[in-house]
Structure 1
Amino acid sequence: MKKTSTKITAFIVIAILISACNAVKRVPDGKLLLTKNQITVNDKKTKEEGVFNQLYQKPNSTFLGYRLRLNLYNFANLNPDSTYQAKFANNPGKYERKSKWLSAKQVDRLGQSFWYHGIHDFLIKTGEPPVIIDQEKAKKSLLRLKYYYFNNGFFNVDAAFKLDTVGIKKAKIKYDITLGNAFFLDSVKASISTPALDSLYQLNKFNTFIKSGKQYKTDDFEDERNRITTNFRNNGAYYFQPNYVTFNIDTIKKVNKADITLMINNYSFQDRDSTRTEPFKLYKISDVNIYTDYSPSSNSLKITDSSTYKNFNLYSQKKLKYKPKAITDAIFISKGGMYADFRTVLTTRYLNNLKIFNYPTIQYEVDKRDTTAQSLIAKVYLTPRKKYSFGTTLDITHSNIQDFGIGLSVSETIRNVFNGAETLELAARGNVGSSKDLANPKNNFFNVLEYGLDLKLNIPRILMPFNTDRIIPKRMIPSTLATIGFAKQQNIGLDKENFTGGLSYNWTPKINNTARFDLFNTQFVRNLNPRNYFNVYGSSYKALNNISKAYNTNTSYYNNPTDQNLAIERGTRGFTNDVLNGTGSFLKPLENADLEAVKSIEERRLRLTENDFIFATSFTFSKTTKKDLTDNNFYLFKTKIESAGTILSAFAKTTNQKKSINGNYQIFNLEYSEYIKTEFDYIKHWDLSKEKILAFRSFFGIAIPFGNSNYIPFSRSYFSGGSNDNRAWQPYGLGPGSSGGLDDFNEANMKIALSGEFRFKVAGSLKGAVFADAGNIWNVLDNVTDEKSTFTGFKDLKDIALGSGFGLRYDLSFFVIRFDLGFKTYNPANESNRRWFREYNFSNSVLNFGINYPF
C-alpha cells in the first residue's frame, strides 16, 4: 500500500510539472494569457497596492513564483463525463466485458467515482482558470485609474495602455499614467441654513478634515460629511442625514487650487402632495417607554402591568418579572435629555450584554403632546430569551497527559434568576481517556478519568456594599462574576482534586478596552496519590535510580536483586532518606554533586506532591485596535498583576497567628502560597495586502515568591514549548535556561517569549506560514540553585532558544485547522559550539497540531 501511494504521489507531481511547461494549455488561439500588470506613473514604476486594486484583471496567483493553481486547473479534465463515455463508444466490447463482472449500473456509477470524476472536480475547484486578456476590461481599468488619481487631487490625468507580448500566447499589460499638478484646498467656507446647526458646527469645526492648504482628497470630504452628521445627530438633530451635507468646489480662475463651500440646507419633507422645507429642530426626549416582554410576531401590545422608576416607564403584557433597576441601568436614553445616536448605540450594547433578551429594538416617535413638535418618545422593545436553556458539547482531545480523550459537558443556564437580570450557569463535565503513562499500567483502553462541576453567577452591575457609579459609571457596562468549581482526576498523575472559587468585577473603560479586577481567586489543589510521584515523573526516578546503583547497599530497596532498580515508593523513599540524613551505608563516599542532585530531586518531589492553597487578588487590563474578525492590521496589549497570600499574611500578623514548624503561616492547617506575579503580552499584525500578513508577539512574565513561600505553585508557574509557544519543542520540553529540559514537566517562574510569523495564501482556503519563535523560562529569586536553570543577569539571555519552521492552515471560516513543523535552530541546552543548527533536521523536528492561529 505504501509503495502504491508513493507511485500515485510521484505521478501527480510529475504530471503537474509537465503541465507547468504548458501554462497556456487552455488559452484559446488568438487569445493571450495575462502574465503581469505594469503601472508607470510619471515614468516611474509603482507597486502601490491601492493603485493595483483598481485593475479589473490580475494575473493568475503564484506560490513562491510558481502558478500552482493555474497548473492544477490545466491538469484537470474539464469534461470527465464525455471522456468516460468516449472510452466505451470507441470500444463497445469493453463496456460489455465490464458489465459481466460489474453490473451495468455499477459501470455507469464508476464514471462518477473519485478517480474518474472526483479528482477532476477537486482540481477544477482548487485550481484557477487562465486569466485571458480582455481589452474592454483594460479600458475599464484605465478609467478606474483616472478616477483613483482624480479622487486624490489630480484633476488632469492622461492614461493609456498597451500589450507587450512576452511569449507564445502570453503578454503583459503596461499602463502609463501621466499626472498633472495636484490641486490643493484654498479657502474653506460654510453656508448652513439652520442657525442651531450652524452653532453646533462652529463649536466643533476645529476637528474638520477639510483645511486650507491640504491636497484635495475625496475621502476627506466623505469623512467630513460623516463627522458633521455624527455631531448633529448626537446633539438632537434626529432627522439629519449625510445627504444634507454637500460641497461646492470652485477651481475657476485658480491655478491648482480650489475654493470649498460647505453647504447644508434646511430640512426637506413631504407634506401631502407638496415638498416643504423648514429649519432643522433639535429634539429632546419627553418619555422613555420600555416594553419588557415584546413579541415581534404579535401585531399589538396588551399591557397588563406597568411601573415607573426614575422617569422610566416599564410595561409588561404579563406580570412584570424584572426589578426596574436591573433594566433601567442598561438604558442611557434619559427623559429631558437631548436625542443622541450614541446613547441609542450604548443602550443597545448594554441590553445585548445582559444576555437575557434578544437583540433589542429602539424606536422614536414625535410626541404629539408637545405643541412645538420638538420632543421624542423613546420606545425600547425587549424580547426575553427562554428562562432555561440546556447545552451540550462533545470534544475529542489530545494532550501531553492523554494520548486520546473524549470529553462531554452539559450545562443549564437560568436567566433572570433573582429578577435582577442575573444569569446563573450550572455545568458538569467529564472526560475519559487513554494514556500510556507509567502511572496507568492496566491494559484497558480507557484508563484515565476526569470530571468536574462549575457554577457561575453573572450580575450586570458591581456588587459592592457601597455605590460605585462614580468610579465605574454604567456606560462602562460593569458586571460581577461569582464562580465556584470542583474537579477530580483519577489515574492521571497524582490524582488531583481541585477546588476553585472567585469573585471578579469586569468593565469596559472605553471601546476596545477591557478591565477585570479579581477581588479574590482561590484554588485548593489536593494530591490524592502522592506515592505515585516517581511513576509519573520518570526522569526524576531515572536520575535517582542511577545514583542509587553507584552507592546503595540496602537490597530491601530493590524491586529485585537482578536489575537492582529502586522500588516505588519503598526504595525511593528509603534511599533518599539515607542520603539526606547520612544514616545509610554506601559502596563509596557520596560525591558532592550526587548529594546535591538527590537534594534537588527530593525538593522537587516535595514541591509537586504537597497540597497547594492559593488566595490571590489580581487586576487585568487589555486594549486592542482590532475592529472585527476580518481586521488584519491591529495591535493587542494585555497586562496582569496578581498578588497571592498578602491579605492572609496581613491578617495573620495582625492577629498574632502562630507559625508552623517550617516558619510559615497556615490556614486550615495548610501553608498557603505567597507571591506577586506580573505579565505583559503584546501582539501586532500588519496587513501586507494580497492576503499576506506579518504577525508578531512578545510576552514577559515573572512570579516572585516571598514571605510564606520560597517557590511558585506548579499551577501558577510558566512552561515553554508547544503549539502556541516555541513550536520547535514539545510542551514543557524547553528549559529552564540551559538545563536541557531534564524533568518530565519543566517549569519555572520567569518567562520570555517572542514570535514572528509571515502568513500567506497558498490556494483557496489553504494558507501557509513561515515562523520563528524565541524564548525560554528561568528560575529567579526562588529556592532553585542550579546555575543552568536560574537567571542571574542579562548574560543569561544567551539561553534564549530559537525555533523556526513552516506551517499549513485550512480556513473553515468559523475556525482554522493548523499544522506547524518546528526545527530547533538554536538550542541553549547544547554545548556552546554546538547550539546553532545542530538539530535542524526532520528527525529532531516537532509537528504541532492546533485550532486557530497561535496569536
Structure 2
Amino acid sequence: MAKISLLSLLAIVLLSCNSLKKVEDDELLVVKNAIYADSIKVNNEELESLVYQKPNSTVLGYPLRLNLYNLAKENPDSSYNAWLYRKDNRKKRLDKLLSEKQVERLGESFLVKGLSNWLKDIGEEPTILDTTKTRLSLAKLSAYYQSKGYFTNNTTYEIDSARHKKAKVNYHIELGDPFMIDSLRNNISSKAIDSLYFLNAENSLIKEGQQFDLSNFNGERERLTGIFRNNGIRNFQESSITFDILRDTTRASDDQKMNITLNIGDLKTRGENEVTTSEYKVEKINKINIYTDYLSTNTQDSLYTIDYQDYTIHYSKNFDIKPKTLANAIFFKKDSIYRDVDKIRTSRQLNALNVFKYPNIIFETDSLGNEVNTNIYLAPKTKYSLGTNFEVSRSNLRRLGVGLGTTLLIRNIFKGAENLSISANGSYGLLSSNTFEANYFSEFGGDISLDFPRIWFPFINTSKIIPNYTLPKTRIAIGTNFQNNIGLDKQTFNTVLGYNWVPSDFVNHEVELLNIQFVRNVNSNRFYNVYTNTYELLDDIADSYEDATLYPELAEYFETGDSDDELNLIIPSGTTGFTNAVLNEEVSATTDDYDDVNTIEERRIRLTENNLIFASNYTFNKTNRTGILDNTFYQFRWKIEGAGNVLSAFSTFIPFNKNDDDQLLVFGVPFSQYIKNEFEYVKYWDLSRSNVLAARTFFGIAIPYGNSDNIPFVRSYFGGGSNDNRAWFPYSLGPGSTSAVNDFNEANLKIALNLEYRFPIAGDINGAIFADAGNIWNVLDNVEDPDATFDGLKSLKDIALGTGVGLRYDFTYFLFRLDLGFKTYNPAEIQSKRWFRDYNFANSVLQIGINYPF
C-alpha cells in the first residue's frame, strides 16, 4: 500500500474542497469586482479599497483561506451531541469507560471543537453578496470622484451571476466634466500670518485654472502649517485654515467654474466655559532651562545651576554631563524665532546620546506674549547595563556546543555622553568528527568599543561640514578572537575608527577611516585536514605516483588507506613532500599534473598565510521608505573600500622588509592592497492586499594591485546561501562554470539578481515564490583557470539560476523563513545539460533564515 505523507493528504483534502460549500442556494459568492469610469476599467488600489465586499483572498489563484474555513464544522457542539446520542447506548458506554465529566470534556477537545475554531480563525468566511453594501460602495466611489472635481458624477452597478452561485460586481461611474478653479482669494486676519503667507504663496498647491482635487487642499493646509510653525507661530493650529468653495452644479458643463477663498483665522483656546480668541504672533525663544536629572530624589533647592552659552543648566550630584555636550544636542537659540524643526532635532539628538530617557520639552509664554521660555526635562538612564546570552548549538562538525556571552555598557563615562561597551564571549563543545587529535573545540574573544556623539578628527572642526542635527557619531573599537580545534585555529585582532551621520530620514553616511584586521593561522599544517576537497584533488593526482618501484623517493609520503590496496598521502608530511617533489621537478610529472599541483599549492599558501588588512571605506545609503508598513520603496547602497595604500605610501619613506615574492612586510606579514567597489539596489512594489514584489540587484568587484595579487579570503565574495542564490549552499556556487572544486569557493567579482513574490497564506503564515540569479568569478588576480575567470560579456552565460518556494512565519519582532531552492540553470554542467538537470527534490536545497533576504 502506498504511503501518503501528511502534507500530501492535506493537499488532497484542500484541492477536493468546494468553495461553495457554505453558500446557500439563494446566495451568491462574490468572486470579482470591477470598476469602470466612463466605460474604461480602472485598476487602482485606492479605489478598490473603497469597495466594502472584496472577493476572498487567494494564494496563486486558489482560495486557500476560504477552503480552510469551509473545512470547519459550522456548529461542532451540535454535531458532537448528535453523534453522541445517535445510538441509544453510546453515551452510557462512554460514561462507564471515561466518566461523565471526561465525556463532556471530549466535546470541548481540540479534535471535536478546537480544530473547527482554529480553522475559522486562520480561514476566511465566504463573501456573500449584500446589495446594501454594494450601494454603500457606490456612495464611497461617488464621493471619491467628487473629491477629484467630478461633482456631477452618476453611479450604477450590475451583477453578473452567470456562473453557478457566483457573482461578479461591476461598478460604473459616469464622471461628467470636472470643476475647475476660476479664482483664488484669501482672507487672513493675522498680520504676522499674512506676511508669511505671501512670502510663500508662490509654491501653493492650489492654483487658478487647476482641476479641483481635495488632496491638494489637504496638502496646502499641511504645507502652510509647517511654514507657520517653523517661522515663529509656535501654537498655530491647522484647523485655523479653512476654504470657502463656491460652485454651481446646476450650470452647463462648459461653465463649471469654482471660486476659492482661503481663510486663516485667529487662535482659539477652549476654556472650561468659553472659547477665547487671540491673534497669532511670532514668538521668540527667551530663557532656555535644562534639567538634567529632573527625576532625582533631591529637592529643587539642592540642584546646582550653571550658565553656558544660551542655556541655564540645572543639575544634581547624582548625574553630571559636560555643558558643551548638551549645547551641541539642543538647537534652540536665545532671541531666535521658534521653529518646529528645532524641537524635532533636539528630541532626536538627545535620544541619540543614549544617556537620557525620552526628553520632555515644555514651552511657557511670558507676560509679553511674544516670547517663550523653554524648559527641557531630562531623566538619565542607568549608568551601567549588563546583558548576557546563552546558546546551545549542534552541527555536522560539532556534536554539542555551549556558548556564553556578556556585555557591559557604561554610559556617559567621560561626562560627554560617551558610551563604553565591553563584551566577552566564549564557546566550548565536543567535535563530531576525528579530524583533529582532540575531540573538543573552544572559541573565545572580546570587544571594547567607545561611542561618542560627535565627529572626532584631529585638528579639524567638522561641525561646520557635518552639522549636529545630522546625529554625528564616532566609534572606536578593538577586538580579538581565539579559536582552538576550529579550522586552522585563527587568531584575529581588529581595530576600527568609524564615523556615522544621518542628514535626513532617507540618507545615511558611514565612514571607516581605519579598519585594521590581522589574521594569524596558528595551525596552518592542518590545511588538508580542514579543506578535504582540496586534499582529495591532490591525492587523486598522487595516485599516479604511488608505485614505489617507479618512484622510490615518494614512498615515504604514502600510507595505507581504508582498504589494503589503497594508498593516501600522509598529512602534512606527505602532502608537503609530494607537492615539493612535483614543483621542484624531483619527479617527472606531466604538464597537467604540474599545473594542477601548482594551483593547489598557491591556494594553500593563500589560505594559510597570515593577513594584515589596513583599510578605509565609505558607505552611502539612501531610501525613500517612510515606515515599516511601506511596501512601495527603493533602497540604494554604494560602498567603496581601499586597503594598503597608506602602508604603501609609508614604504617610500620607511624601508620595509620584503619576502621572496618581493612583497612588502609589516611585522613580518605581507599587507593586502586592493580597491573594492559595491553597488546594491532594492525595489519593492505593493501589489495590493499584502502581496509584494521585491527585487534586488548587486554588483561587487575587488581588484588587487601593488603588494597583492589576490584578495584576502575575508574580503572576497561567495555564492549561495539563504540570502543569496538559495538553490546552492554557501560557498558551493562557482567560480564561473567550475563545479565547487574547493571546500569554500570564493572569488573577487560577484553579480546577483533576485526576484521574489510574497503573499499571505493564513494568519501569520506567508508564502513566497523566488528566482535567484548570479555567480562569482575571478578577475585581474592570480587565478588563471578560464572556467573560473570573467572574460567579458560571454562569461555571463555562467550566471546560475535558482528558483523555488518559501514559507515565512511572522513573529512581529522577527520573521522565521524556510526556502526550498531548485537548480534551474547550473553553469557547472555541460552546455546541453545545464537547464533543469538537477531540478528535483533530491538535489533541492532547504535554507533557513531570519527576516527577509533583502
TM over 0.5: yes
In structure 2, relative to structure 1, the CA distance for the partners of 1:844 and 1:601 (3 Å cut) is: same
Q: Which AA in structure 2 matches 1:455? A: I
Q: Give, in whole Å, the separation in 2 of the partners of 1:701 and 1:29.
A: 62
In structure 2, relative to structure 1, the CA distance for the partners of 1:440 and 1:224 (3 Å cut) is: farther
Q: What's the secondary structure of 1:70's corresponding residue?
A: helix
Q: Give, in whole Å, the separation in 2 of the partners of 1:129 and 1:712.
A: 59
In structure 2, relative to structure 1, the CA distance for the partners of 1:433 and 1:163 (3 Å cut) is: farther
Q: Give, in whole Å, the separation in 2 of the partners of 1:824 and 1:614.
A: 36
Map Cα deviations across residues 687-715 of structure 1 (whole Å, 9 max, x no partner).
12121211111111111111211111111
Q: Give, in whole Å, the separation in 2 of the partners of 1:397 and 1:213.
A: 70
Given the alignment, which residue of 230, 233, 239 partners 2:235? 239
TM-score normalized with structure 2 length: 0.94
Map Cα deviations across residues 199-245 of structure 1 (whole Å, 9 max, x no partner).
21122222211122322111110000000000000000012111111
List alignment gaps of at least 5 residues for structure 2.
Answer: none
Tell me which residue corresponds to 2:303. 304
Map Cα deviations across residues 778-806 of structure 1 (whole Å, 9 max, x no partner).
11111111111112322222211111222
In structure 2, relative to structure 1, the CA distance for the partners of 1:556 and 1:656 (3 Å cut) is: closer
Task: Give how far 1:171 is off.
Answer: 2.9
Tell me which residue corresponds to 1:393. 389
Tell me which residue corresponds to 1:266. 266
Given the alignment, which residue of 439, 444, 463 partners 1:451? 444
Tell me which residue corresponds to 2:687. 688
Q: Give, in whole Å, the separation in 1 of the partners of 2:430 and 2:123.
A: 41
Q: Which AA in structure 1 matches 2:44? A: E
Q: Give, in whole Å, the separation in 2 of the partners of 1:790 and 1:45.
A: 52
Task: Give how far 1:487 is off.
Answer: 1.3
Given the alignment, which residue of 453, 457, 462 partners 1:460? 453
Tell me which residue corresponds to 1:642. 641
Q: What's the secondary structure of 1:823's corresponding residue?
A: strand
Q: Which AA in structure 2 matches 1:540? A: T
Q: What's the secondary structure of 1:153's corresponding residue?
A: coil
Q: What's the secondary structure of 1:523's corresponding residue?
A: strand
Tell me which residue corresponds to 2:14. 16
Q: Give, in whole Å, the separation in 2 of the partners of 1:683 and 1:9.
A: 34
Task: Give how far 1:448 is off.
Answer: 3.5
Q: Give, in whole Å, the separation in 2 of the partners of 1:567 and 1:529.
A: 16
Q: Which AA in structure 2 matches 1:65? A: G
1:488 aligns with 2:482: yes
Task: Give how far 1:256 is off.
Answer: 2.3
Given the alignment, which residue of 578, 582, 603 partners 2:581? 578
Conserved 8 A contact 2:319-2:380: no
Q: What's the secondary structure of 2:837's corresponding residue?
A: strand
Tell me which residue corresponds to 1:56. 52
Tell me which residue corresponds to 1:771. 770
**How many matched pairs?**
840
Task: Give how far 1:299 is off.
Answer: 12
In structure 2, relative to structure 1, the CA distance for the partners of 1:851 and 1:275 (3 Å cut) is: closer
Given the alignment, which residue of 210, 213, 217 partners 1:214? 210
Task: Give how far 1:548 is off.
Answer: 0.5
In structure 2, relative to structure 1, the CA distance for the partners of 1:402 and 1:48 (3 Å cut) is: farther
Task: Give how far 1:842 is off.
Answer: 1.9
Counterparts of 1:521-540 in structure 2, within 5 Å, are 521-540=515-534
Map Cα deviations across residues 503-547 of structure 1 (whole Å, 9 max, x no partner).
111111222211111111111111122111111111110010011
List alignment gaps of at least 5 residues for structure 1.
Answer: none
Tell me which residue corresponds to 1:719. 718
Q: Give, in whole Å, the separation in 2 of the partners of 1:185 and 1:775.
A: 54
Q: Give, in whole Å, the separation in 1 of the partners of 2:396 and 2:637.
A: 27
Map Cα deviations across residues 738-782 of structure 1 (whole Å, 9 max, x no partner).
112210000011111111111122222222221111111111111
In structure 2, relative to structure 1, the CA distance for the partners of 1:807 and 1:15 (3 Å cut) is: closer
1:126 aligns with 2:122: yes
Between 44-53 and 163-172, the greater mean CA deviation after superposition: 163-172
Q: What's the secondary structure of 1:329's corresponding residue?
A: helix
Q: Give, in whole Å, the separation in 1 of the partners of 2:657 and 2:9.
A: 79
In structure 2, relative to structure 1, the CA distance for the partners of 1:10 and 1:581 (3 Å cut) is: closer
Conserved 8 A contact 1:78-1:124: no
Tell me which residue corresponds to 1:42. 38
Tell me which residue corresponds to 2:670. 671
Tell me which residue corresponds to 2:198. 202
In structure 2, relative to structure 1, the CA distance for the partners of 1:111 and 1:759 (3 Å cut) is: same
In structure 2, relative to structure 1, the CA distance for the partners of 1:709 and 1:556 (3 Å cut) is: same
Q: What's the secondary structure of 2:54's corresponding residue?
A: coil
Tell me which residue corresponds to 1:325. 324
Conserved 8 A contact 2:801-2:825: yes
Task: Give how far 1:100 is off.
Answer: 5.0
In structure 2, relative to structure 1, the CA distance for the partners of 1:313 and 1:842 (3 Å cut) is: same
Q: Give, in whole Å, the separation in 2 of the partners of 1:281 and 1:300.
A: 36
Map Cα deviations across residues 87-119 of structure 1 (whole Å, 9 max, x no partner).
333336334444555455544444444333332
Q: Which AA in structure 2 matches 1:222? A: N
Q: Give, in whole Å, the separation in 2 of the partners of 1:736 and 1:403.
A: 31
Q: Give, in whole Å, the separation in 2 of the partners of 1:710 and 1:102.
A: 79
Q: Give, in whole Å, the separation in 2 of the partners of 1:14 and 1:781.
A: 55
Task: Give how far 1:406 is off.
Answer: 5.0
Map Cα deviations across residues 422-442 of structure 1 (whole Å, 9 max, x no partner).
111111223346665663577
Q: Give, in whole Å, the separation in 1 of the partners of 2:8 and 2:637.
A: 49
Q: What's the secondary structure of 2:652's corresponding residue?
A: helix
Q: Which AA in structure 2 matches 1:221? A: F
Between 568-577 and 227-236, the greater mean CA deviation after superposition: 568-577
Conserved 8 A contact 1:400-1:731: no
Counterparts of 1:286-435 in structure 2, within 5 Å, are 286-295=286-295, 301-302=300-301, 304-368=303-367, 371=368, 373-395=369-391, 406-432=402-428
Q: Which AA in structure 2 matches 1:390? A: L
Q: What's the secondary structure of 2:329's corresponding residue?
A: coil
Map Cα deviations across residues 51-102 of structure 1 (whole Å, 9 max, x no partner).
2111111121122222221111111123333433433333363344445554
Q: Which AA in structure 2 matches 1:463? A: W
Conserved 8 A contact 2:36-2:170: yes
Q: Give, in whole Å, the separation in 2 of the partners of 1:90 and 1:108.
A: 16
Tell me which residue corresponds to 2:470. 476
Tell me which residue corresponds to 2:257. 257
Task: Give how far 1:48 is off.
Answer: 2.0
Conserved 8 A contact 1:305-1:319: no
Q: Give, in whole Å, the separation in 1 of the partners of 2:734 and 2:578.
A: 28
In structure 2, relative to structure 1, the CA distance for the partners of 1:229 and 1:652 (3 Å cut) is: same
Tell me which residue corresponds to 1:511. 505
Conserved 8 A contact 1:800-1:828: yes
Q: Which AA in structure 1 matches 2:458? A: P
Q: Give, in whole Å, the separation in 2 of the partners of 1:434 and 1:753.
A: 37
Q: Give, in whole Å, the separation in 2 of the partners of 1:525 and 1:243.
A: 64
Q: Give, in whole Å, the separation in 1 of the partners of 2:395 and 2:218.
A: 53
Conserved 8 A contact 1:711-1:783: yes
TM-score normalized with structure 1 length: 0.94
Conserved 8 A contact 2:704-2:710: yes
Q: Give, in whole Å, the separation in 2 of the partners of 1:184 and 1:403.
A: 76
In structure 2, relative to structure 1, the CA distance for the partners of 1:746 and 1:399 (3 Å cut) is: farther
Conserved 8 A contact 2:298-2:316: no
Tell me which residue corresponds to 1:762. 761
Q: What's the secondary structure of 2:481's corresponding residue?
A: strand
Between 823-832 and 108-117, the greater mean CA deviation after superposition: 108-117
Q: Which AA in structure 1 matches 2:534? A: S
In structure 2, relative to structure 1, the CA distance for the partners of 1:30 and 1:748 (3 Å cut) is: same
Q: What's the secondary structure of 1:606's corresponding residue?
A: helix
Tell me which residue corresponds to 2:279. 279
Q: Give, in whole Å, the separation in 1 of the partners of 2:58 and 2:431.
A: 44
Task: Give how far 1:274 is off.
Answer: 5.7
Alpha-carbon RMSD across the aligned residues, in angstroms, is 2.4
Q: What's the secondary structure of 1:74's corresponding residue?
A: helix
